[in-house]
Structure 1
Amino acid sequence: MPESPEVEALARFLAAEASGREIRDVDVLEFRAIKTRSRPPEGLAGRTITGASRHGKHVELALDDGSLVVSLGRHGWMRWLDPQADAPADHTAAPDDAPPALATFGLSGDRTLEVTDAGDWVSLGLHVVGDPAEVPAISKLGPDPADAEFTRDDFARALGRRRKQVKAILQEQESLAGIGNAYSDEILHLAKVAPVTHASALDEAAADRLFDATVSTVRGAIAAREGTPIHLLKAEKVAAMRVHGRTGDACPVCGDTILDLTFSGASAQYCPTCQNGGRPL
């Protein structure tokens, strides 16, 4: 699932590479991706891209009139095709095993932007709007730990004294924007908090560790992805994980074996010693 560090890198790439380019043609290959049926993406031909930004896990392409918002969903991403680039093949043309394109945008300067989805069902959405706040999921977003204005008070309000597992709260976009399954595992490991712990059970010290881990993990990952080609972002994210996706490996902190936990329809990877006093959950 795309999360804020990689989506931020994608938005910055598009801001640098797509700004100033005219949308010459639009081809929607999967009509289920269109979320604003009265304003289909095909109507964007002739518009000019003026910038790009991130809203949680959504990318906004600002236009000279309105915006195209791409909700990446669970398996969505974008591909930038530049036939003049001296770059790996998957940056200049889609390889045979690449995720299918749901829509393509031909841009001035002989560039093509494709939106893709690697899932078995379409999770990516395309919204043509006058303002990104018209997208319901964006209008409901909670505060973003990547923002310089994000405070301990914002975090405390997100947690509250809720009888809800902190891993679920970290991923709840209405509470905290941009975090998904992978980075929530990394945050909880750094904070030494078990994923099944309820927010109401956190003492002040644990809540402080969780706040510090959230901010440092998200902002550190954004800094680490700066300048990474967008076709390499997923691989860099996977390589940087300490516990997520590392079931059976040794914890890099204490050496205990990282375990997998499935609960309430979700999964987590965690270290028993670092996060639960040495006891498997």
Structure 2
Amino acid sequence: MPESPEVQALAENLADRLAGRVLGEVDVVEFRTVKTRTRPPSSLADAAVTDVRRLGKHVDVVFGDDHLLVSLGRHGWMRWAGEPLAATADGDSAPPTLAVFDFGDGTTLEATDAGDWVSLGLSVVDDPAEVAAVAKLGPDPADADFTRDEFDRAVRGRRKQIKAILQEQESLSGIGNAYSDEILHAAKVSPVAHAAALDTDALDRVFASTTATVRDAIAARRGIPLHELKAAKVAAMRVHGRAGLSCPVCGDTIRDFRFGSTTAEYCPTCQTGGAEL
């Protein structure tokens, strides 16, 4: 699942390449990606890109007063036509192209989705807040003005597992499964601990780890070609996806466990007092 560091790098890459460019033809290969049927992406033809920005895990391509809101979902991504393709996690062929945006001069942007079901969404709106998933986004830890008060309002006192809260876009936007694992490992907090059970010291660590992990990752991904971002993310992980390997902090074996519809990784010594979940 794309998360804020990689989506930020994607948005900045698009901004660099598309600023001032006029959209030509649009070819929607998979009609289920279009969420605003009365305003398809082709309605933006002949308009120029004025900005590209990230909103949580979404990309907002701005065409003056109009916005093409790209919701990447679980497996969505974007790539430049003609550049190397990033293989899927299982080593099979690259994910299929679901929509093509031609900006002329050989500048062609493709929207892809690697999932078994279509999670990518394309919406043309006057205001990104017209898209429900954007309207309900919580504060973003990547923002320089993100405060401890905002963090406390999202987390403190809640009878819910801290890992789930970190991934809850209405509470804190941009964080997914991978970075929540990394945040909690750095904070030395169990992923299944309820937020209400965390003392002030633990909350201090989670807050500091959340902001540092997200912001450091954004800085590290900046400037990496789009087709290399996923590999860069995987290579940077300390515990996520590392089950069976040694913890880089204490040397214990990293474990995994089922968390909802996915898995989570943690270090028993660093995070759970030696207990296996």
How would you bin the TM-score normalised by the shorter chain?
A: over 0.9
User: Secondary structure in 1 aligned to 2:85?
Assistant: helix
Write out per-residue CA displacement over residues 245-280 of structure 1, whole angstroms, 9 at most, x where no aligned residue: 000000000000000011344421000000011121
How far, CA to CA, are the matches of 2:16 and 2:259 in structure 1? Answer: 41
| Structure 2 residue 150 is matched with structure 1 residue 160 | no
- Map 1:7-156 onto structure 2 (within 5 A): 7-81=7-81, 89-90=84-85, 97-156=93-152
Give the residue type in structure 1 aligned to 2:30.
E
Give the residue type in structure 2 aligned to 1:25.
E
Give the residue type in structure 1 aligned to 2:73.
G
How far, CA to CA, are the matches of 1:153 and 1:263 in structure 2? Answer: 28
- Matched with 1:85 is none
RMSD (CA atoms): 1.2
How far, CA to CA, are the matches of 2:97 and 2:47 in structure 1? Answer: 21
How far, CA to CA, are the matches of 1:276 and 1:111 in structure 2? Answer: 50
User: Secondary structure in 2 aligned to 1:200?
Assistant: helix
- Map 1:158-197 onto structure 2 (within 5 A): 158-197=154-193
Write out per-residue CA displacement over residues 133-163 of structure 1, whole angstroms, 9 at most, x where no aligned residue: 1111111000000000101111000003111
- Asked whether the 8 Å contact 2:100–2:111 carries over to 1, the reply is yes
TM-score, length-scaled by structure 1:
0.94
- Asked whether the 8 Å contact 1:21–1:109 carries over to 2, the reply is no
User: Secondary structure in 2 aligned to 1:175?
Assistant: coil
TM-score, length-scaled by structure 2:
0.96
Write out per-residue CA displacement over residues 95-146 of structure 1, whole angstroms, 9 at most, x where no aligned residue: x911111100010222100000000000010000111111111110000000
Please report how far the alpha carbon of residue 51 of structure 1 lies from its aligned counterpart in structure 2 after TM superposition.
Answer: 1.3
- Matched with 1:214 is 210
How far, CA to CA, are the matches of 1:10 and 1:157 in structure 2? Answer: 29
Count of equivalent residues:
272
Q: Which runs of 5+ in 2 are unaligned?
A: 87-91
Give the residue type in structure 2 aligned to 1:29.
V
